[in-house]
Amino acid sequence: MKLCSKPWNPAYSTIYYLSKSNKEWKTRSTPSTVRHLRELKLSYKIHPRNKPSDQPYTDPIPPWQLFSIPVELFPMSKTAAKQNTHLTSATFRAINKDEPPDHLSIYTDGSTCMTSRKSTCAFFIHKLKIKESFLLSESTNSFNVELEAINQALAHVYHQDWNMITIYCDSKAAIEAIRNFKWTASNTIPKIINQIVNFNSAGPKIKFYWIPRHSGIQGNATAYNLANAGRHTNVGHQLSHCPNVAERLLKMQVLTRLKTISTNTGVINRQRMGMCPWHTHKRRKIQTALFRLRSGHCKLNNTLSKSDMDINPECLHGCEEKEDTTHILLHCPHYSNARTQLTNALLKNNVSLPLDIPTLMGCNPNIPKHTQGAIAKQLVTILIETQLIERI
Ligand SMILES: [Zn+2]
């Protein structure tokens, strides 16, 4: 289903013609792809956009032909740079003091807004007095817009003759993805790498330089303002961007189907597919306990009593309630000290949330990522201290 972004795939032309044709297939000889394509609603733009012959040649480079893409990092951390913008600006000027005449510096940045569902990217070339911003046809994440900015900047200077071109970018993720040839991380990466290969064979060397964002570096601020202005005013070029709509659509369909048949809170409260970092733990024992608590299939009395008549479903500590996840985490007086400790620890981290099962289990989708991490950490501490981990 990633074929719209992988034109080099041998199945590309087949799926292109299948998705375009209105042929009626006999029930027993319908190609399986046709069923999926129809299920995903063909009216939605899921079919490959361009004819196979129109696709640019962006075949991944085989591993033995990979080369190193030079990357440099600004000598200050993001936090330190933000705290002292004057020092950051002075350090940056000192580094770039002796810029040779055959060297070109390009500043790139992207901006994306979840409310207006608009994504823009921009680049700024001080030496050539060029400021360009682009509005992407479809909203995407900040990683993709940063990459698109680099792609557009390289395309702009494609026919120029320089000895060295340095791209100043404030996204380490984007730079690392290019440097490590992460072909599938974004549709734009093959395009960028393809351009770098062409630049290298023609003469100019491409270098990436990570700079901290919003910390007094003039070029970065200009690129940022350009990208932001492009989002608010709709000026700038319109860019046809093709995110992987088919994949997103298919994932949402699978999730909806899973939600209807599941009773697991970890599944029902999900808003998207994929792994949540706070649901996992590097220690297998803890990870297993967290999974069991979320799914309800644990070794607590209520669960065990369903398969063994001799086991009493009630709480081990003399309560009259059934011993399950909700009871031990929210109601059992035996663990009240641990519960208070958990609430206090969360309050210390400025987290004041209703203490309920979805919140504690990391299944409340309205809680931000860092808070989810803090809650999971505290819960693990409590599970170990009360030795509940042995019984789950
Ligand atoms: Zn109890």
Interior angle at CA 210, CA 106 and CA 162, nearest 5: 30
> How far does residue 303's CA lie from ligand 1's centre (Å)?
15
Note the CATH number of domain 64-239. 3.30.420.10
Tell me the pTM: 0.57
Which tokens hold the place of 374? 């803090």
> How far does residue 363's CA lie from ligand 1's centre (Å)?
24
> How far does residue 286's CA lie from ligand 1's centre (Å)?
22
- List, in order, residues 6 or more apart from 319 with CB less than 8 Å away: 327, 331, 332, 333, 334
3-state secondary structure of 321: coil
Does residue 224 contact residue 111 with C-beta atoms inside 8 Å? Answer: yes
Q: Which pLDDT score is estimated for 244?
A: 57
Q: Above 80 in pLDDT, residue 47?
A: no
Interior angle at CA 343, CA 342 and CA 345, nearest 5: 65
* Strand partners for 166: 105, 207
What is the amino acid identity at position 226?
L
Which tokens hold the place of 159? 């026919």
* Strand partners for 136: 239
> How far does residue 315's CA lie from ligand 1's centre (Å)?
5
* Local structure of residue 346 (DSSP, 8 states): H
> How far does residue 392's CA lie from ligand 1's centre (Å)?
14
| Mean pLDDT (whole number) for 163-180 | 91
The ranges assigned to domains in the chain are 1-58, 64-239, 276-390
Q: What is the pLDDT of residues 342-385, one digit of tens each?
A: 888 878 776 667 778 888 888 888 888 888 888 899 899 999 99
| Mean pLDDT (whole number) for 160-188 | 88
Q: Above 90 in pLDDT, residue 107?
A: yes
Q: Above 80 in pLDDT, residue 292?
A: yes
> How far does residue 335's CA lie from ligand 1's centre (Å)?
8
Does residue 169 contact residue 148 with C-beta atoms inside 8 Å? Answer: no
* Strand partners for 314: 322
Nearest to 140 by CA among 275, 242, 265, 42: 242
Q: What is the pLDDT of residues 214-270, one digit of tens each?
A: 888 888 888 888 888 877 766 656 665 555 556 677 788 888 888 898 887 778 888
